Homo-oligomer: A and B are copies of this chain.
Amino acid sequence: MSDSGTVHTPRNPDWERVVRESFARQAYMTLIGARIAALAPGRVSLELPFRDDLCQQRGFLHGGVTTAIADSAAGYAAFTLMPPKSSPLTVELKINLLAPAAGERFVATAHVLRSGRTLSIVEADVLAEAKGVRKPIARMLATLICLENTSDAPERTAV
């Protein structure tokens, strides 16, 4: 099945600003050093430079980090198509780690397979880049829910 022909129409005219501000609030993405590489309706790429403190015991990127950037990419790919005053939440994800995560840089790209009123199904790939060559290291398939009439920012306690 080719996904490339799918054209997604955002329900929120302000989708790009909303996604960028939400990503900026993900303190954990800041901690690991991930940033947005590309943004389009239904498609988001994040990139992450290699760092020693993101590794597992053998010196490869920890599977939890690979999963985290795939999950955030998936969440924001789904969020680009959600209506105003909503927030995306991962219901579940499944990821296959295809090869050891070695490289100078990692790119997670997610695209929406199905964007329903309530649920979004999103696929993501993670590539590792080493000496200019990219190779796939993970494939993810995830389900997200659209929380309607829910703030995407933390609730403030009244003072």
* Chain A contacts to B: CB under 8 angstroms: 1, 22-23, 25-31, 52-59, 62-65, 67-69, 71-72, 87, 89-100, 109, 113-114, 118-119, 121, 123, 125, 127, 136, 139, 141, 143, 145, 151-155
Contacts and interface: CB of A to CB of B under 8 A. Distances in A.
B143 A121 contact: no
A138 to B, nearest CB: 9
Contact of A152 (B57, B90, B96): B57
A63 B152 CA distance: 15
A62 B29 CA distance: 9
Question: This chain: how many copies in the complex?
Answer: 4
B31 A54 contact: yes
A103 to B, nearest CB: 15
Given A64-B67, A68-B62, A68-B67, A27 B1 contact: no
A53 B28 CA distance: 5
A57 to B, nearest CB: 4
A97 B87 contact: no
Contacts of A59: 154-155
Contact of A69 (B29, B64, B72): B64
Q: Which of A57, A59, A141: most chain B CB closer than 10 A?
A: A57
A127 B1 CA distance: 8
Contacts of A25: 56-58
A95 B119 CA distance: 15
A51 to B, nearest CB: 9
A109 to B, nearest CB: 7
A112 to B, nearest CB: 11
